[in-house]
Amino acid sequence: MTSTTSALSSTLLGWYDVHARALPWRNPPGEPVPNDPAWPYRVWLSEVMLQQTTVAAVKPYFEKFTQRWPDAHALAAASDDEIMAAWAGLGYYSRARNLAKCAREVASLGGFPQTEAELLELPGLGAYTAAAIASIAFGERAVVIDANVERVVSRLFNITEPLPKSRKAIRENADLITPDARAGDFAQAMMDLGSSICTSRTPKCLLCPLQSECQGLKAGEPERLPVKPPKKAKPERIGTSYWLERDGHVWLVTRQGTGMLGGMRALPDDGWTAREDGSGEPPCDADWSELGAVRHTFTHAHLTLSVQRAEIRSMPDGEGEWWPISDIDNAGLPTLFAKAARLALA
């Protein structure tokens, strides 16, 4: 690390000492890593939850999970159904499936590995999450790069090559400024700077502690960095879900373990996917009535889901369970089907 990059790191850490966000999964800036077996678990859980999800949305889920399952061993003992139900509404449900797999692997190991390389061997952990846990939970020097860090580094070093090709240069420059000491604080300082000051739109450059060193600011257009390829239009999909009642209960199914909303409780539907419209049959012959439709946006598609309702006395086709309508809020329905349920109950 050169004297310039060392001064830059020190400046950012000084800013973080004053402006760090107080978050339930964070250690106060400058404090040593807690000597608590549950600490790596809390860091890991927060990082998994925060992937493509806002801090505001994650906070109540983090509190709920850590109260119910205070460490990896407790989470490992929970069933997939319990974990998926507790995750309902947070989205990107493959994270919950990987959460369960990883917790069981950690429990079998007796605890979290402490190096970035070993953490990468855990199921569901990519380069970012492994580096974040290594630096924040164990104090190891690791180069932590999320979307906020990508943006800060792209502007700081005026990296004009478009993503994703620019990621090699972003990593190299992030490595240059990552200090040996307080690597976890530095990673979180970069994240906070990107989320609060070096924002994607209208960055607050006058408030930035690194403004004097920012090559993007000197070039005159920091807000255009990083350069991103044009977004592809999301396809429009249509499908149908079925609200089937009997004696104050609604028929719920469990979706297949892989794919969209995999492993989640849901209303039966006509087989829609992100690639094609639904074309299947209702779960049984009944006098169906149209209630309207709900709309939901996934990563790869927009979906308009019609909701049909019927009452029956017999059993529908396939596997499922009768769930008390009065307790539908505790069924752990993902957001799409929670919307459909609210429409049915309205």
Total residue count of the chain as it appears in this document: 346
- The residue annotated as part of the active site, out of 31, 47, 121, 281, is 47
Catalytic residue at 281? Answer: no
Is residue 186 a contact partner of residue 12, using CB atoms and an 8 Å limit? Answer: yes
Q: Give dist(CA 198, CA 212) in Å, integer.
A: 14
Q: Give dist(CA 66, CA 287) in Å, integer.
A: 45
Q: Give dist(CA 225, CA 156) in Å, integer.
A: 10
**What amino acid positions are annotated as catalytic residues?**
47
